[in-house]
Amino acid sequence: MVLAATMTAPEIAWGALTPLLILLGGTCLLLLLGTLVPRWPRVATPTLTIVTALAAGTAACVQWNNLYYRKGYSIVADAISIDRFSVLITIIITVAVALGALLASAHHDDANGDPLENYALLLTSAIGAVVMGSANDLIVLFLGLEILSLSLYLMAASDRRREESQESGLKYFILGGFASAFLLYGVALVYGATASTNINGIAEALTERIAVGGSDAMLLVGIGLMLVGLGFKVSAAPFQIWTPDVYEGAPTSVTSYMASAAKVAAFAALLRIFIVGLESRVDDWRPVIWVLAVLSIFVGSTMAVVQTNVKRMLAYSSISHAGFILVGVEAAAHMEGNGLAASATYLAIYTMMVMGSFAILIAVAGKNDTATTLDAFKGLAKRRPALALAFSTLLFAQAGVPFTSGFVAKFGVIKAAVEVDSYGISIAAMVGAVIGAFLYLRIVVSMWMEEPETQEPLEIPTVVSVVIGISVAFTLVIGFFPSILLDAIELVRFAPL
């Protein structure tokens, strides 16, 4: 009867949850004000979203500094880990949210206004993503994943004018639900093998088991199924089938966010589960990551080359980026070396790159997302040279040309891989990068070396140029002075068990 007397509620470290609480508070405030204030000015919604995201990011930065004096720790009955890794992921995601909000505000249509719900979903998805980045329990992780995914399905379907948008939302939804089921089944089998859903608990149980012996079959199948589920979420080949369609159909502002934050969160989850929880079975799952990485790089690069739609190209290129991050994961799986830091660096850089690239897509394609074919980019250098230059910079960054952040990212993962003697994967990755470069060149060629199809002036909304500016500046600054990022990310660690 007296429930409270017989149970001990875990202590909740509210301070450590600040970024999450800010995001949640922002969401509620947004929804409340939106429903209560009759004449809610249009700029207020994105502004509030951005302020919330930046506030959460600032809180995360404060946490980052605090972690200087303290090792990572876990809170709320081990459900959440606060460590350098989770805080970094939080920061990346808040930045992505802020930029995503900027893009979204440029992307609305005039007839239907700028629905408040889009921004609320942006914030809730950030909650999910942050939770995924810091979850120390597979169930919490799964809930975070679902919060993120559901928000994204809706965001993908949110452009009600275009049927493609809703179709992409539906497609994403069904395949995403399919993947979630696999992930969850994997969690169930791992739970069966270890009697725990807590990542630390799993790690401990498995370490004990090594001494005891016994069949690992259930565990391994569970790991496999989880990999399938997470592979879907990070869109690694061969689980990438949904990516191009969904990326193409979704509103571009959403695609940019989807390509960045969702992938970051899924990789964060992947890294934590496998590196922390399944460390003792690393020899069993590492080869699978190897295969996924190489497949992703090659499938992403080669399929991208035959596309005619820039949005689809970028979608495929995001698959090959996923492959590169998996190279980092594979390196991180060797426990010594810098795989973790390299993957984290790649994620941070990739986020900024991809945001900028899609921002340019928005600038070119306009509010209606109509002109995303390669033809629309023909002769862009003649119409808007600065825009073409910015896009070229970002594309070269994606290709991994020196003095751009993309090079730093690729160099980092390759270095991490080489450090642990994974030469095969490094060479495969680099060869894949060359194939990928061909794709980026195609776009560059049509921008600079072909004649424009129209001479219509291209209106670029200010917010979009801001995003492009930030992205390009980041790309170049990190390209020239990588130490700014590397010295910080070098400190990325998981909380000790």
**What part of residues 213-232 is at the interface with another protein (CB under 8 A)?**
214-222, 224-225
Stretch that binds another protein, among 86-94, 264-272, 276-284, 434-442 (CB under 8 A): 434-442
Is 120 a residue that touches another protein (CB under 8 A)? yes
Q: Is 269 in contact with 145 (CB distance < 8 Å)?
A: yes
Stretch that binds another protein, among 65-73, 267-275, 398-406, 466-474 (CB under 8 A): 398-406
Is 210 a residue that touches another protein (CB under 8 A)? no
For residue 81, what are the CA distances in angstroms to 143, 149, 262, 435?
15, 21, 19, 39
Stretch that binds another protein, among 4-12, 65-73, 291-299, 323-331 (CB under 8 A): 4-12
Is 44 a residue that touches another protein (CB under 8 A)? no
What number of chain residues touch another protein (CB under 8 A)?
A: 129
Alpha carbon 14 to its chain centroid, in Å, reads 26
Q: Judged by CB under 8 A, which of 22, 89, 90, 173 binds another protein?
A: 173
Site for another protein in 276-315 (CB under 8 A): none
Tokens matching residue 326: 């998996």
* SS3 label, residue 89: helix
Q: Give the nearer residue to another protein in terms of CB position, either 57 or 251.
A: 251
Is 211 a residue that touches another protein (CB under 8 A)? no
Q: Judged by CB under 8 A, which of 51, 62, 305, 431 binds another protein?
A: 431
Site for another protein in 233-252 (CB under 8 A): 241, 244-246, 248-249
Report, in Å, the least distance between residue 332 CB and another protein: 15
Report, in Å, the least distance between residue 216 CB and another protein: 8
Q: Judged by CB under 8 A, which of 53, 99, 106, 157 binds another protein?
A: 157
Residues 6+ apart with CB under 8 A from 49: 26, 30, 97, 98, 101, 119, 122, 123
Is 427 a residue that touches another protein (CB under 8 A)? yes
Q: Is 378 in contact with 371 (CB distance < 8 Å)?
A: no
For residue 284, what are the CA distances in angstroms to 22, 106, 273, 493?
40, 47, 14, 23
Q: Judged by CB under 8 A, which of 232, 350, 396, 494 binds another protein?
A: 396
Binding characters for another protein, 22-41, by CB under 8 A (x = yes):
--x--x---xx--xxxx---
Q: Judged by CB under 8 A, which of 99, 103, 106, 140 binds another protein?
A: 140
Stretch that binds another protein, among 96-104, 231-239, 319-327, 480-488 (CB under 8 A): 480-488
Region at 250 (left for phi over 0; alpha for psi -120 to 50; beta for the rest): beta
Q: Give the nearer residue to another protein in terms of CB position, either 51 or 441.
A: 441
Stretch that binds another protein, among 92-100, 294-302, 407-415, 461-469 (CB under 8 A): 407-415
CA angle at 465 for the pair 459 and 467, rounded to the nearest 5°: 140
Is 128 a residue that touches another protein (CB under 8 A)? yes
Amino acid of residue 78: D
Is 21 a residue that touches another protein (CB under 8 A)? no
Site for another protein in 186-205 (CB under 8 A): 187-189, 191-193, 195-197
Site for another protein in 355-394 (CB under 8 A): 367-370
Kindly report the number of other CB atoms within 10 A of residue 421's CB atom.
Answer: 11
The dihedral formed by the CA atoms of 246, 249, 252 and 254, expressed in degrees to the nearest 10: -50
Report, in Å, the least distance between residue 422 CB and another protein: 10
Q: Judged by CB under 8 A, which of 163, 287, 453, 496 binds another protein?
A: 163
Q: Give the nearer residue to another protein in terms of CB position, either 23 or 360.
A: 23
What are the beta bridge partners of residue 309?
373
Amino acid of residue 54: L
Site for another protein in 53-72 (CB under 8 A): none
What's the rounded Cα separation, in Å, for the pair 64 and 12? 19
Residues 6+ apart with CB under 8 A from 197: 137, 138, 139, 187, 190, 191
What's the rounded Cα separation, in Å, for the pair 428 and 426? 5
The helix-helix angle for 18-36 and 84-107 (nearest 10°) equals 20
Tokens matching residue 281: 């079975």
Q: Omega before 238 cis (within 30°)?
A: yes
Q: Give the nearer residue to another protein in terms of CB position, either 54 or 418.
A: 418
Q: DSSP alpha helices (H): ranges in 333-461?
A: 339-365, 380-383, 385-399, 405-419, 423-448
Q: Judged by CB under 8 A, which of 111, 283, 336, 462 binds another protein?
A: 111
Is 458 a residue that touches another protein (CB under 8 A)? no
Residues 6+ apart with CB under 8 A from 1: none
Q: Judged by CB under 8 A, which of 45, 49, 52, 158 binds another protein?
A: 158
Q: Give the nearer residue to another protein in terms of CB position, either 172 or 274.
A: 172
Is 150 a residue that touches another protein (CB under 8 A)? yes
For residue 444, what are the CA distances in angstroms to 370, 372, 379, 438, 462?
20, 15, 10, 10, 24
Is 177 a residue that touches another protein (CB under 8 A)? yes
